[in-house]
Amino acid sequence: MTSPALSQKTALITGASGGIGRATARLLARSGADLILHGHANTATLESLVAELKVQYPKSNISAVCADLSLEAEQDRFIEDVSALCFAPDILVLAAGVDLMSAAMKQRSFEERLARLWQVDVVSALRLSRFFGERMKAKLQTSDIGLRDQVSNANPESRSPKSEAPSQGVVIFFSWDGIEHGMAGETAQLYAAAKGAVQGFCRSLAHHLAPEVRVNGVAPGWIKTTWGETASPATDERIAAQSLAGRWGTAEEVAEVVRFLISDAAAYINNQTIYVNGGR
């Protein structure tokens, strides 16, 4: 019997209490990963998810760390709390994001929505990826040197570079498919500004962390999470018409793309953004 694909790897998932983050956590747990799951507003949902996964996967280490990533001090505390659990995760999935479609956020001004979106979706993602990305790279460089030394000492003739794909760390950002073609409305303007910044940063970080760490983005289209569950029939029809699939996407479909990108099968995929929108 083969081991799960992600056994002996630790994944840090921000926004794990949200629809896509939760689906990703379940999928990675099923693949054998240890998990550090982040949440903030939906702490009850996060606690329920952790309890569920601990029952299903008792051999896995599954922890929860709560933090309000809209505050820099909380970002700092979150980094400290995660660092106390592990020096660096093997996988970082940055799924935390502000739900601009919630009733509470709709009541706020453009400037208030932008400030919160920028702190959570952009600033926290950039800070966490820089900090843990550097640690991933350092850990893998040290591990690779130690492995080469062991091989060389055992067999001095085997000093040539390894031909097989090396072990890699992985960082996954979340973008938005709308930044490619634009969309009318205040909410679209906000998402375009924030996710456009994230996608640009993702490309530069990939160059900085390569080859030890791969950095890719996932750009979902219309995914039926919390807001989608309450959408009107007219909205359902409009969204179906905008996708070649003729329907909403699901959080599980996005999670499957994330799992592929962090797998060894994607070892030669770096600095890319994968669109999960059914086709425009």
Q: What is the CATH number of the domain that holds 61?
A: 3.40.50.720
> What per-residue confidence (pLDDT) applies to 202?
96
Q: How many structural domains does the chain have?
A: 1
Nearest partner of 223 among 168, 269, 190, 177, judged by Cα: 177
Domain that holds residue 102: 10-154+167-276
Q: Is residue 30 in some structural domain?
A: yes
Q: Is residue 161 in some structural domain?
A: no
**Are 215 and 270 in contact, with CB atoms under 8 Å apart?**
yes
Q: Is residue 4 in some structural domain?
A: no
User: Whole-structure pTM over 0.75, yes or no?
Assistant: yes
> What per-residue confidence (pLDDT) applies to 145?
57
Q: How far is the CA of 65 from the CAs of 30, 37, 126, in angstroms?
A: 20, 6, 19
Query: How confident is the prediction along the chain (280 residues), in pLDDT tens digits per residue?
Result: 445 789 889 999 999 999 999 999 999 999 999 999 999 988 999 999 999 999 999 999 999 999 999 999 999 999 999 999 999 999 999 999 998 888 888 889 999 999 999 999 999 999 999 999 999 999 999 876 554 555 445 554 544 343 344 589 999 999 998 888 888 899 999 999 999 999 999 999 999 999 999 999 999 998 888 777 777 888 888 888 888 899 999 999 999 999 999 999 999 999 999 999 999 8
Q: Is residue 44 in some structural domain?
A: yes
Q: Is residue 1 in some structural domain?
A: no
Q: Is residue 159 in some structural domain?
A: no
Q: Is residue 140 in some structural domain?
A: yes
Nearest partner of 271 among 195, 169, 200, judged by Cα: 200
Q: Find all residues with CB under 8 Å of 58, minimum gap 6, and list them.
A: none
